[in-house]
Amino acid sequence: MEEAAPLPLLLPSHPPSPLPPSKFAEAEFPFPPPGAVFQQSPTTLPSGVVPSFPSSWERWALESLLRAFLLLLFLPAAHFLYQEKGECHFLNGTQRVRLLLRSFYDRQEIDYIDSDLGKYVAVTPLGQPDVDKWNKDEVYLQYWKAQVDSVCRHNYQLYKFWSFLPGPQHRPTVTISPTKMDPASPNTILLCTARGFYPLEIEVRWLKNGQLEEEGVSFGEEFQNGDWTYQLQVILETQPQQGDVYTCQVEHASLEAPITVQWEPRSSSSAKKKLWIGIMGAVIGVAFLAVGLFSYLKSKKGESGGLEERLWGGKHPGEGFHQAQQVTKRVSLRNIFGKFCSWRGY
């Protein structure tokens, strides 16, 4: 990397010759402009007091510094600033630790090494030559991989101590969102999202039926919301069965107790369709049964009405009942008298 050339400093060819001190014993004001009618007398100082004026050498130095300052002020700034920034990212304590070493030139990131990838990555073409060189050095790459334990995990307790000191804290809000990447796949993606928390240190776990779930769990990147708070997503890919209960558990410094949010699988769309078809079939069957029963009862009622009419001799049951009583009496008397008398016709 080339260094910027030093700026030229414009100085006088030779310093001015010093003046005799006697010339500074008295200070006279400039002469008045033409046409002025006043005269200024020399300033009188107390005896033994000599006014303090800068020497010619001091004035020469001040003028030189002023010229250099003006040159620096009006010349464009050179682009030569190079920076390196190391970052340790912790998720779920020290369960997952990620180290990033980022390089910047003129306030623009040019390359970085990621411990998760185990290699350097170029961000701009300016960083590509260094990336090609460093990725060929296995010893150098192993050195930076080892920094995950020797630097990040080693200093985690100190970091945890400072992050849990009393200070501004914001409680996270936790939600679970199910989604399917492939409709034909039996797997379901569950997203547990913690939003609006501060400080950054947070622990997120997935539980299935009360047991810690580790298989199929992946952690997303923490994002800054722009108001000093963060958000984080933890993903669980699983095949939920009817009756399973999934729980997202979040621990944070702002919480007195962990936050737990539960999710249970619902019936599939095909099962819902079958259920609705069954319900509609049952309703239609009940409707047909009711119509048939009503028709049957109506027909039976018509038959019973005709029998009454034939038996009682009238449409009104009371009228038929009285007529039936009279007929019964006649028949009874006739039977009684028939036993004791013999009827003969003359």
pLDDT at 59: 66
- What residues form DSSP beta bridges with 231? 195, 223
| Rounded CA separation 207/205 (Å) | 7
Taking 90 as the threshold, does the pLDDT of residue 231 lie above it?
yes
pLDDT at 336: 44
pLDDT at 206: 94
| Rounded CA separation 238/217 (Å) | 9
Q: The tokens 């009862």 sit on which residue?
A: 297
pTM of the entire structure?
Answer: 0.40
**Which conformational region is residue 2 in: left (phi greater than 0), alpha (psi within -120 to 50 degrees), or beta?**
beta
- Residue 236: which of 202, 277, 204 has the closest Cα? 204
End-to-end CA distance of the chain: 161
Q: Are 141 and 135 in contact (CB under 8 A)?
A: yes
- Taking residues 6-33, report their average pLDDT: 44
* pLDDT digits 0-9 by tens, 88-143: 887 767 778 888 889 898 888 999 989 888 899 999 999 999 899 989 988 888 88
- Taking residues 41-61, report their average pLDDT: 55
* pLDDT digits 0-9 by tens, 263-317: 988 755 555 666 677 788 778 877 777 777 777 777 766 655 554 555 445 445 5
Average pLDDT of the chain is 72
pLDDT at 196: 93
